[in-house]
Amino acid sequence: MGNMIKVLFYARKSKSNPNGQAPIYLRVTVNGQRFETATSRFVEIDKWSTEAGRVLGSTKEAKELNGFLDVLQAKAFDIQKKLITVGVDVTLESFINLWQGKKEKARMLLEIFAHHNKQVQELIGQQYSQATFRRYETSLDHTRNFIAEYFGQPDLPITQLKYQFITDYEFWLKTKRKCNQNSTIKYLTNFKKIVNICLKNGWLDRNPFIGFKMTKKDVDRPYLSQEELELVKSKTFVSERLSQVRDIFLFSCYTGLAYVDAKQLTPADISIGIDGEKWIFTKREKTDTPSRIPLLPPALEIIERYSNHPKCLNSNRLLPLLSNQKMNGYLHEIEAICGINKKMTYHTARHTFATTITLTNGVPIESVSKMLGHKSLRTTQHYAKILDIKVSADMNILRSKFSAQSPQKSETGT
């Protein structure tokens, strides 16, 4: 790293004493700002080299004075090094504080993380969602607990962020917090944002993530086949509560909405789309991205069925959703009653919309991605990878075309 400061010595002739000696001053320039101080040393004006900033000659006195100036110069650059080491900006103020013996407070990791989260919280509704803030808060808690267990300290200077810190943190998340690979990578991704803040501000010399692989595993995303969907749809339940949970689950099967987005829907979120039909116009809580979904007839029927439900009328909600935990509990009962050999959760509905309802029926993946509110098409492609049924159907069409062609009979000559 190059020097951030410049050091210069000069003889101030305007303050020469009666003996023709001028006081030697030190000037340190930090980002264009100057700090000047007297060295308490004097030099005869005709023996001073302005270009070199040193005393001319090789006498004992000249060597001693130049040696003293070398020590002051070394002290200035040593202060620069100390500031960088403790993660403090090299500014005129921070330099003067150390020059005068005042201690600079090191930049602390958790303080920076907490400050970042506070800014995220203040931008909820503008740039971030409540869910995003909660994820960063959880990441901060994990980081705080890791530092307490591994280092026995309430916080750490950011200068202690090394590659080993990252690998130890990964190991801790998997062993102490029992996080799977993908959850671990999510927490490390959040932590990496804090590291990038430190790097961009020049508080860190080296990225501790260099050489660390952030690889997610492809996961099985359970969804209901068309047959399983019809089974759930046609099943008669003795419990009214199970019927209600089934209906709301089916609503998300036909709209692709996650639990939190379905829960927050109001009648005002339903408007007439470009085709003259009713659409849902909303934003995903998770990513704060717009989601526009044309309403299929089964979804419209469910909305109408619960339009006068007391809970909907009292809370101005489109559907009477229970808590996510209770919804999932009842869905497990529905799964057992219907004899479906899959672990059904509310999120299964979103996967069902992406696969069985849309992609399998030939809806382009770009359209599916927009309706799901994905920021990247790559996210939607995870669903496309598991559509063996669609691949089989497409190949059967191709196979039938080949089968329809009569084989050419070869003519043999005599």
Q: What is the pLDDT of residues 154-202, one digit of tens each?
A: 999 998 899 999 999 999 999 999 999 999 999 999 999 999 999 998 8
To which residue do tokens 């900006």 refer?
Answer: 89
Q: Quick check: 115 pLDDT over 90?
A: yes
pTM above 0.75, yes or no: no
Per-residue confidence (pLDDT) for residue 104, from 0 to 100: 60
Q: Mean pLDDT over residues 4-33, rounded?
A: 91
Q: Quick check: 114 pLDDT over 80?
A: yes
Q: What is the pLDDT of residues 75-97, one digit of tens each?
A: 999 999 888 877 677 888 888 88
Q: Mean pLDDT over residues 293-318, rounded?
A: 93
Q: What is the pLDDT of residues 25-77, one digit of tens each?
A: 999 999 889 999 999 999 999 999 999 999 999 999 999 999 999 999 999 99
Q: Which residue has the higher pLDDT, 101 or 187?
A: 187
Per-residue confidence (pLDDT) for residue 410, from 0 to 100: 46
Q: What is the pLDDT of residues 190-248, one digit of tens each?
A: 999 999 999 998 888 889 999 999 988 877 778 999 999 999 999 999 899 999 999 99
Q: Mean pLDDT over residues 361-384, rounded?
A: 79
Q: Residues near 248 by Cβ (< 8 Å), separated by ≥ 6?
A: 262, 302, 319, 320, 321, 327
Per-residue confidence (pLDDT) for residue 373, from 0 to 100: 81
Q: Mean pLDDT over residues 377-397, rounded?
A: 69
Q: Mean pLDDT over residues 9-29, rounded?
A: 92
Question: What SS3 class is residue 33?
Answer: strand
Give 136's pLDDT tier (boundaries 50, 70, 90): very high
User: Could you tell me the fold of the domain covering 226-397?
Assistant: hpI Integrase; Chain A (1.10.443)
The percentage of residues in the chain with a pLDDT greater than 90, rounded to a whole number, is 61
Q: Which residue has the higher pLDDT, 404 or 357?
A: 357
Q: Quick check: 150 pLDDT over 80?
A: yes
Q: What is the pLDDT of residues 274-302, one digit of tens each?
A: 999 999 998 877 766 788 899 999 999 99
Q: Quick check: 381 pLDDT over 50?
A: yes
Would you list the DSSP string of 186-237? HHHHHHHHHHHHHHHTT--SS-TTTT----PPP-------HHHHHHHHH---
Q: Which residue has the higher pLDDT, 173 or 366?
A: 173
Residue 141 to residues 76, 110, 136, 179, 285, Cα–Cα distance (Å): 39, 9, 9, 14, 22
User: What's the mean per-residue pLDDT of the chain?
Assistant: 88
Per-residue confidence (pLDDT) for residue 270, from 0 to 100: 94
Per-residue confidence (pLDDT) for residue 294, from 0 to 100: 92
Per-residue confidence (pLDDT) for residue 251, from 0 to 100: 96
Per-residue confidence (pLDDT) for residue 127, from 0 to 100: 83
Per-domain residue ranges for the chain? 5-99, 109-200, 226-397
Would you list the DSSP string of 145-157? HHHHHHH-SS--B
Per-residue exposure over 232-252, b if at least 16 CB sit within 10 Å of its own CB, e if not? beeeebeeeebebbbbbbbbb
Q: What is the pLDDT of residues 319-351, one digit of tens each?
A: 999 999 999 999 999 999 999 999 899 999 999
Per-residue confidence (pLDDT) for residue 20, from 0 to 100: 84
Q: Quick check: 405 pLDDT over 50?
A: yes
To which residue do tokens 């690998």 refer?
Answer: 167
Q: 357 with 264: CB under 8 angstroms?
A: no
